[in-house]
Amino acid sequence: MAETDPTAAVVVVGDEVLSGRIEDSNSLYLCRRLTDLGVTVRRVAVVPDDVPAIAAEVAAVAPRFTHVLTSGGVGPTHDDVTMEGVAKGLARPLVRHPEATAVIRKFYGPHMADAALRMADLPEGAELVTSEHIRFPVIRIDNVWVFPGSPHLLQAKFEAVKGHFESTPFAGGVLRVDASEPEIAGFLSQVQARFDGVAIGSYPQEPGVPVRLLLTARGKDAEAVAACLAALKEGLGEKLVGEGPP
């Protein structure tokens, strides 16, 4: 895969998401920001607080995608098993990390409960990525980046290390169309066939939105995207009612 076409998988860890008790806002945040940075997110998985489930997902995605970002399960309690799952998924032992130990001791001070040091048990070879904007470093094991589940911490940490993910940005456009999908499905297939590196999406809108259909075109080659949008507009004729999101 070319340097300019990086991919990513997001792994959200948490029983509380799978039970619907908590709405996961982290995957939406990461998907949006990675897309902004020119990264194609190819997969999001939500898995339980369970070492084999986390390990299986990490083992499946780490070799296939440029970046893997995990969220959640990094505290000091019995249900925080992300590090153990990542270690197992990457076939590495979990070892007490001296630098992480020092960071945690400094944060909690002299009255720290021993359990806090569980957070210094990291997959062998883990690297602490620091920045002046965050108190705790982000933990990275090769292409796997481990983020906390707390949205405000995840966001601060992601922004602090986003430079590691930056790539050629996507070009794209949105067309508002007054047509049903069956009416224009054949035409869309023809245009899609002409523009290989551009993804055309067709999205009927929910009742209440004052447009029937949104068409999107997105790709890394800005000229191809512009040509694709022009072809769509020409073919749609009077069915085109506007450009940009409604």
Contact present, 163 and 38 (Cβ < 8 Å):
no
Q: Are 45 and 70 in contact (CB under 8 A)?
A: no
Among 5, 59, 66, 75, binds a copy of itself (CB under 8 A): 75
Residue from the set 98, 110, 113, 223 that interacts with a copy of itself by CB under 8 A:
113
1 binds a copy of itself (CB under 8 A): no
Residue choice 6, 26, 37, 45 for contact with a copy of itself (CB under 8 A): 45
> Whole-number minimum distance, CB 182 to a copy of itself, in Å?
4
Of 48-67, binders to a copy of itself (CB under 8 A) are 48-49, 53
Nearer CB in complex with a copy of itself: 81/87: 81
Smallest distance, Å, CB 75 to a copy of itself?
Answer: 5
76 counts as binding a copy of itself under rule CB under 8 A: yes
Number of other residues whose CB lies within 10 A of the CB of residue 60: 16
Q: Which is nearer to a copy of itself, 32 or 124 (CB)?
A: 32
Least separation, in Å, of the C-beta of 119 and a copy of itself?
8
Closer by beta carbon to a copy of itself, 9 or else 138: 9
Q: For the chain, give the number of residues.
A: 246
Contact pick of 109, 110, 207, 237 for a copy of itself (by CB under 8 A): 207
Structure tokens at 134: 């965050």
Which of residues 94, 95, 116, 129 is near a copy of itself by CB under 8 A?
A: 116
- Tell me: does residue 112 bind a copy of itself (CB under 8 A): yes
218 near a copy of itself (CB under 8 A): yes
How wide is the angle at C-alpha 143 spanned by C-alphas 140 and 146, nearest 5°?
A: 40
Single out the residue of 41, 138, 154, 225 in contact with a copy of itself (rule: CB under 8 A). 41
Q: Which of 153, 45, 151 is nearest to 89 (CA)?
A: 45
3 binds a copy of itself (CB under 8 A): no
* The Cα angle at residue 42 between residues 38 and 45, in degrees rounded to 5: 125
Residue position matching structure tokens 């993804």: 199
In the complex, the smallest distance separating the C-beta of residue 39 from a copy of itself, rounded to whole angstroms, is 10
Which positions lie near a copy of itself, rule CB under 8 A?
15-24, 27-29, 31-35, 40-49, 53, 75-80, 108, 112-116, 118, 150-152, 180-186, 188-189, 192, 199-204, 206-207, 216, 218
